[in-house]
Amino acid sequence: MQPENGFVRHVGVACGCDSCSTAQGGAEKDGALSRRGFLASAVGGTAAVLAGATVSTTRPALAQSTLTPDAALKELMDGNQRYVGGQLQSLNEDLSILKAKTAEKQEPFAALLSCADSRVPVEFVFDQSIGRLFVVRVAGNITTPEITASLEYGVAVLGTKVIMVMGHSNCGAVKATIEGKAVPGQIGALYAPIWPAVNAAGPDLDAAIDANARIQATLLSEASPILAAAIKEGKLKVVAARYDIATGKVTLL
C-alpha cells in the first residue's frame, strides 16, 4: 500500500508494509490466508474505508459581495456551535489548496477584535480556515486609533460584513484594571481604555468583562466615520460577545 502523507494507512487487514508482511508470512505458513484471499480481503477492506471516508477539500467560498451582515454573523455563530460540539470542518480542508487560493488576495467575511490571550484561538473558535476572518488582537480587546484603523481597513478595503468585539472569561487585563496594581513598563497603558467598564460594572470581573466588550463595540461604531457610515447603509454590523474559555461557547451580549 502506498503511503499517504508519509504514513501508511492500515485498514484492518495486512497491507503489505514491512510490519504487516511479517505477520502475513506467519499467517500463510499456518494456512490462515492464501495470497488470493489476502488480496480479496485487502481490496474489500480498502473499499469499505474509502466509502466512509471524508475527502479533504475546501469549503465553497462565501459570496462576500452579496453576503448580508446578519448572514455573516450567523456563519460565525454556526461555526462556534461546531467548535463547541467538536465537529470542526476547517480541519478537514486541504491546506495546500487554501494557501494557493489565498496567496494573492483575501476576502474575509468577518472581523474580530479579540484579546491577545493565548487561550482564545479565534479561527478555531469559529471553525474558520485561512482567509475567512480578519483578526485584530490586543490585551483587553480595547479600541485604540491603531485598532480602529485596522478594522476600518477590513471594512472599507476588504469588505468585511460584521465586526465582533469579543471579550473572554477570566480576562487578565480586565482583572488587573480592577485591582489597579502597579505594573512594570507600559502594561499600565491598558488600564485607561478599560476603566469605563470597571466604573460601570464595579469590581465584579464577569460583569466588567461584558461591559468592556460592549463599550469597545460602541466606541468603534460611533467614533469611526467609516464604520458608522457602513452601519447606516446596512453594510456592516458591530456586535459585542463573550467567549467562555472553559466551554468554548461564544455568547452575544
Q: What is the pLDDT of residues 138-169, one digit of tens each?
A: 999 999 999 999 999 999 999 999 999 999 99
Cell triple for 109 = 467575511
Q: Residue 133's closest CA among 57, 75, 58, 217?
A: 75
What pLDDT does residue 149 have?
97
What pLDDT does residue 105 have?
77
Mean pLDDT score of the chain: 81
Strand order in the sheet with 162-168: 133-137, 110-114, 162-168, 237-243, 250-252
3-class DSSP state for residue 195? Answer: helix
In the block, which residue shows the cell 491546506? 95
Say how far apart CA 190 and CA 95 lie, in whole Å: 36
**Single-letter residue type at 202:** G
Cell triple for 122 = 479565534
Domain boundaries, the chain: 1-53, 69-252
Say how far apart CA 216 and CA 166 lie, in whole Å: 9
List beta partners, residue 165.
113, 240
Cell triple for 171 = 480576562
- Asked if 62 and 162 touch (Cβ cutoff 8 Å), the reply is no
- Asked if 165 and 217 touch (Cβ cutoff 8 Å), the reply is yes
What pLDDT does residue 63 have?
54
Specify the CATH number of the domain 69-252: 3.40.1050.10
Say how far apart CA 106 and CA 233 lie, in whole Å: 23
Cell triple for 150 = 485596522
3-class DSSP state for residue 250? Answer: strand
Q: What is the pLDDT of residues 12-56, one digit of tens each?
A: 334 444 444 444 444 444 444 344 443 344 434 433 333 333 444
What pLDDT does residue 10 have?
41
pTM across the whole model: 0.74
Report whether pLDDT(128) > 70. yes
